Amino acid sequence: MSVLKRIEEIEAEMARTQKNKATSNHLGLLKAKLAKLRRELLTPSSGGGGGGVGFDVAKTGVARIGFVGFPSVGKSTLMSKLTGTHSEVGAYEFTTLTTVPGIVQYKGAKLQILDLPGIIEGAKDGKGRGRQVIAVARTCSLIFIVLDVLKPLTDKGIIEKEMEGFGIRLNKKPPNIAFKKKEKGGITVTNTVPLTNFDADEIKAVLSEYRIHNADVNIKEDCTIDEFIDVIEGNRIYIPAVYVLNKIDSISIQELDLIYKIPNAVPISSQHGWNFDELLETMWSKLDLVRIYTKPKGKLPDYDQPVVLKRDACTVEDFCNCIHKAILANFKSALVWGNSVKHNPQKVGKEHVLDDEDVVQIIKRI
Ligand SMILES: Nc1nc2c(ncn2[C@@H]2O[C@H](COP(=O)(O)OP(=O)(O)OP(=O)(O)O)[C@@H](O)[C@H]2O)c(=O)[nH]1
Ligand SMILES: [Mg+2]
């Protein structure tokens, strides 16, 4: 039986199974089976069917933002307006057939924008180019899910489901679960908070599906069995997303009020350039970047061209490496002004973690 057929069967069985105490172990088992089958489907076969031209784009800039959405929702129009890069706009569907990269400069940071083709549905089941689109989405630091406000919101659900099926978790944090396989000793499950969604037996059922019989599991938040499976599968990617609701020029103020209630959504009109300020501001805060100004000795800091770092890699060492690889070799210490220090300036070592808009002066060894 094909993998797709097996997935279908398991999904059907899950749909008919009522969730209660007696069935929860079995449901957990089915979920684990499903996760394994999906992984099988997404690992490119030796034939390399996933290849295809035009989808691999070199990374430039400190962050990459991918536009994902159905055809004709206005992705290319938005791309052209934001970056000045021309991406074909058409009144017909599937105007964009490959990935078009562009650059947007914001707050001194160079950000790469990728306009992706409007093919999505069925991607998680390995269908055609949708799979390539989502494979590129996996490499992004932020995803703009572009939706047409005139189309039903079911589109949003379909896109989310496709991304989920591809191991992408949108606007979520990795679950706080410590999991460690052992040689022997059986399975130990401990939890530091009460678990309301599943119990230790369900975890054991899932682990047995993975043929794991010895492991320590420490659960530190009230998560779901799906999140536990994510930890076992291990290849999940956690990416922030913004729902860009385009074409608000064609709806009423009352309708606009309603769509403003969707979390993480920014209504815009690509064509008219409406509400781009909010879109860019939301983009910036979701990217969580840190700007560091350099200060040469005896001179004023350079406020025009910050060194832009990612929040999870913004030590003085990261800062030095970003300017030039050779700097660290002669690094003695650094003087820092700003939020990351108590005194202004403060002398710090290369492990010091910087904060947004800090000013840094490097002191070299003589
Ligand atoms: N009314 C209105 N129409 C828009 C807006 N933005 C884009 N459009 C129109 O929507 C159509 C599709 O725009 P594109 O930018 O080509 O859409 P796309 O998402 O790139 O489409 P594909 O490349 O086919 O996936 C064009 O006719 C645009 O003029 C908008 O803000 N308001
Ligand atoms: Mg397009």
Provide the CATH number for the domain around residue 152: 3.40.50.300
Q: Atom 26 (ligand 1): residue with closest C-alpha?
A: 91
| Residue 221 within a domain | yes
In the listed set 233, 249, 264, which residue is the last one of a domain according to the structure? 233
| Strand bridging mode 142-148 / 241-246 | parallel
The whole-number pLDDT of residue 49 equals: 41
Residue length, the chain? 366
pLDDT beyond 70 at 304: yes
Q: Give the mutation target among 79, 270, 272, 274 for probing the ligand 1 site: most ligand atoms within 8 A of CB.
A: 270
The whole-number pLDDT of residue 94 equals: 63
Look up the domain containing 196 and give its range: 3-43+175-233
Point out which residues pair with 113 in neighbouring strands.
Answer: 65, 102
Q: Atom 30 (ligand 1): residue with closest C-alpha?
A: 247
- pTM over the 0.85 mark: yes
* pLDDT digits 0-9 by tens, 8-44: 999 999 999 888 888 888 999 999 999 998 888 776 5
The whole-number pLDDT of residue 48 equals: 40
| Residue 48 within a domain | no
**In this structure, are 165 and 81 located in the same domain?**
yes
| Residue 265 within a domain | yes
Mean pLDDT within 326-355: 96
Q: Atom 1 (ligand 1): residue with closest C-alpha?
A: 247
The whole-number pLDDT of residue 50 equals: 42
Q: Could you please report the per-residue DSSP string of 104-150? A: EEETTEEEEEEE--S--TTGGGT-HHHHHHHHHHTT-SEEEEEEETT
**In this structure, are 295 and 186 located in the same domain?**
no
pLDDT beyond 70 at 126: no
The band of 93, judged by pLDDT with boundaries at 50, 70 and 90, is low
Coil, strand or helix at 317? helix
| Residue 53 within a domain | no
pLDDT beyond 90 at 67: yes
**In this structure, are 109 and 162 located in the same domain?**
yes
pLDDT beyond 50 at 349: yes
Q: Could you please report the per-residue DSSP string of 212-225? A: --SEEEEE-S---H
Mean pLDDT within 55-68: 83
User: 215: which residues sit within 8 A by CB, 6+ positions away?
Assistant: 179, 180, 181, 182, 187, 188, 207
Mean pLDDT within 220-230: 95
Mean pLDDT within 349-362: 97
**In this structure, are 125 and 153 located in the same domain?**
yes
**In this structure, are 29 and 78 located in the same domain?**
no
| Residue 103 within a domain | yes
For 313-328, b/e burial (b = at least 16 CB within 10 A) is ebbbbbbbbbeeeebe
Phi and psi at 288, nearest 5°, equal 50, 60
In the listed set 233, 255, 277, which residue is the last one of a domain according to the structure? 233
**In this structure, are 89 and 163 located in the same domain?**
yes
**In this structure, are 197 and 327 located in the same domain?**
no
**In this structure, are 163 and 94 located in the same domain?**
yes
**In this structure, are 260 and 349 located in the same domain?**
no
Q: Which residue has the higher pLDDT, 87 or 250?
A: 250
The whole-number pLDDT of residue 140 equals: 94
The whole-number pLDDT of residue 22 equals: 83
| Residue 298 within a domain | yes
Total structural domains in the chain?
Answer: 3
Could you say which DSSP state residue 300 is in? Answer: -
**What does pLDDT average to over the chain?**
89
**In this structure, are 220 and 163 located in the same domain?**
no
CATH of the domain at 298: 3.10.20.30
Ligand 1 pocket list (CB less than 6 A): 69, 71-77, 89-91, 93-96, 117-118, 246-247, 249-250, 269-271
The whole-number pLDDT of residue 128 equals: 60
**In this structure, are 279 and 144 located in the same domain?**
yes
| Residue 54 within a domain | no
| Residue 49 within a domain | no
